[in-house]
Chain A
Amino acid sequence: MRSQRKCDLAAGVFIALLGAVVILAASQIRGDVEERLPPRTLPYAVGFMTLAGGLGLAVKAYRFHGEDPRIQWPETDGWVRIGVNLLLLALFTAIMDPLGMPITTGLYVAGAIWYMDRKRVVAALLAGAGSALVVYYLFIRLLELTFPLGPLGRLGETVLFSWDLLLAGFADALTWTNLLWALVGCLVGTLIGVLPGIGPSAGIAILLPITTMIPPTSGIIMMAAIYYGAMYGGSTTAIVVNIPGEASSVPTCIDGYEMAKQGRAGAALGISAISSFVAGTLGLVGLTFFAPLLANVALAFGPPEYFALMFMGLSLVISLSGRALLKGMIATSIGLLASLIGQNPLTGAARLTFGVVDLMAGINFISIIIGLFAVSEVMINVEKAAAHIYGTKFHGWMPTWAEIRRCAGAMVRSSGIGFFLGLLPGCAPAVTTFIAYDVEKRVSKHFERFGKGAIEGVAAPEGANNATSSGGFVPLFAFGLPTGPALAVLLGGLMSTGFSRARCSSRRTRSSSGRSSPACISGTLSSWC
């Protein structure tokens, strides 16, 4: 089917059917808490939205009689390549448990590389062995992530190399330099951030034991460095290989990867770092001077305000789908559907699980993002049998001054948005980066450049990202209330070094006027360290 029209028709019908299935499944949901809270409402609503979207698309496609763009389906060999790769991936996942992660990794990497390019046998074997070793030593031994070990589990402690001794050695030798710990933290943090799925919160949690081995102030600095490093690492992969490190790096993927494909990865990475830096600075300024005032704003946000904010974010994103409003709406409903599966967060009632226990925990949005961006991008490249990801030569390590100037407005705006939204408890950083990106797109005079490598499209989400973390510190210092899991972990880390949140909140109440309270000042001073 080469015709867009026919494909749209087919897609529309399929989606409409999906909507119907959802509505049927929704009627099976049991358990009402109160008369006003039937847990079926949202599933019904989303089901109808999907159904309507699908029908609308089908009808529109059917009635359309105009210029019909072609869809570039792959040739036969393209299909074969994709098919084999998918099969390899499925095999990988299936075998991972019995054979253990390191062995399966080695096999998969070697096998996949050899399949893609028969001539590179040596490279395949090396890469396979290398990745197996990295997985074993770095992830299983050092970071102690519980990947399945398979037969290697019987190896036990008899390894050639023990991290504990090495780190203890470092701790002894380097206790005299805080800066060095910050450096180590940044490196490790970036490494963690590079991996999709391990975000800053997980990173800090994993590395917390290591930070206890070193003196407290260094520990705090290192934790902060890890946090910032992890957030930056996420953007690096977003730009270079279209894998968002976490949900908040997704908008960065959109323009950042396009820039990379045009050979301007260096510029994208550069503006990302600069924008983060500017936002971080502005954020700290905001924290120092405006924290008490803003903390009250955070309180003024109750459930209706949150809903309105989320709704606005969603409608902004849909309306920026250019002329594809219907498709945007359908995409939204698919996303909503995917997250509806599982337990209702308030009542705990199971929804759309069809009796499958695994679905009870719901679908984690990070898996969705990884699949949508990373895996599908690889598939697209596989289909084209691309030799390199980037067609063009690499030029320009850094953004030009003109470009930096152009982004100045974006940086300031996104810092503001990020900081403000960051101080709302429970507002995920992902939301702020999307809203910043969309606002930038609206405000820009060159609306159509976004999505094709507009540098402001990288500056905005990155700035917002950083500013959100600064904003998150406002309620933390004012009330001892962490706005999200990453900060909660940070708080835990801080508390283990004696930082008292009760002290903070009690001093806060003594200054009901807008003047900076002692606690806020001491809090921000420690953040300036």
Chain B
Amino acid sequence: MAGFNIPHVILQPLQQDVGYKTDQIVPVFIFHKTPLALAVLETSPFKTLKDLIDHAKKNPYLVSVGGSGAYTGYHMATLRFEKMIGTKLTYVPYTGAAPQMTSFLGGHITAVFGASDDLTRYRDKIRVLGFATEKRFPGFPDVPTLKEQGFDMVEGVDRGIAVPPNTPASVIKTLESAFMDIAKRPDFQEEQRKGGFIPLAMGHEEVKEYMKKMTELYTELAQGLKK
């Protein structure tokens, strides 16, 4: 049994030989979703999204955007954004969200595509330029979505639990109902919201459907991004 996240497990096998294929992961449950957003430090000279984009256009490659890992949601977001604004950025991968945020807070990279939970935690130190969601994120009501600013992009990381491919169905059922009980509790959901997550409670079958949809979506996106 292991934690997993989408789109990580979809994208990585697509792009290179990582030793597993997406359909080997049997999902049991998804706990929450964390939409991504582009943010800079509060002390940064870029006050709006437009400032950042203009700067990037004048200095291709100079703007560094942090994210955790390669071919993860963060990387994807950066690549898509790059394409939309028509300029190259530099994606700097880190080994996790914590190093990414520490480096960002220390001013070593210009901007991050951060997950909503990290951004919520450091909200006093950062300025969020745009959220990659359909509607405005409840935790940051005055931040416009990227869509509003002309960039139609929705990106997020969903996290949950998965089991290896040959797990018997009875085990999956047990696990699923256990997690469902926890996830449906209102106090648990409240905790999640406070932390900046969007609580979800997707069971085994639902997640499989969702993953199928996402795989199609990402395969298309990945094709579109190949140079």
Contact = CB atoms under 8 A, between A and B. Distances in A.
A220 to B, nearest CB: 21
Contacts of A425: 98-99, 102
B102 to A, nearest CB: 5
B12 A348 contact: yes
A33 B106 contact: no
Interface stretch (B16-24, B31-39, B146-154, B217-225): B16-24
Contacts of B93: 33, 346-347
Given A347-B70, A348-B69, A300 B15 contact: no
B19 A360 contact: yes
A30 B16 contact: yes
Contacts of A364: none
Interface string A499-526: 0011001100100000000000000000
Given A346-B70, A346-B93, A505 B106 contact: no
B135 interface: no
A348 B108 contact: no
A209 B27 CA distance: 26
Interface string A358-382: 0010000000000000000000000
B47 interface: no
Interface string B114-146: 000000011011000000000000000000000
B54 to A, nearest CB: 23
A103 to B, nearest CB: 27
Interface in A436-493: 475, 479-482
Contacts of A215: none
B16 A299 contact: no
A349 interface: yes
A382 to B, nearest CB: 38
B58 to A, nearest CB: 21
Nearest to A297: B106
A172 interface: no
A348 B69 CA distance: 8
B105 interface: yes
A341 interface: no
Contacts of B94: 346
A31 B15 contact: yes
Given A303-B103, A346-B95, A348-B70, A502 B121 contact: yes
B124 A481 contact: no
A69 interface: no
Interface of B: 12, 15-19, 69-71, 90-95, 98-99, 101-103, 105-109, 121-122, 124-125, 194-195
11 contacts: A31-B16, A302-B103, A303-B92, A303-B108, A343-B19, A346-B69, A348-B16, A425-B102, A426-B95, A479-B105, A482-B98
Given A346-B93, A349-B18, A360-B19, 11 more contacts: A346-B94, A347-B16, A350-B17, A350-B18, A357-B19, A425-B98, A426-B95, A426-B99, A475-B102, A502-B194, A505-B122
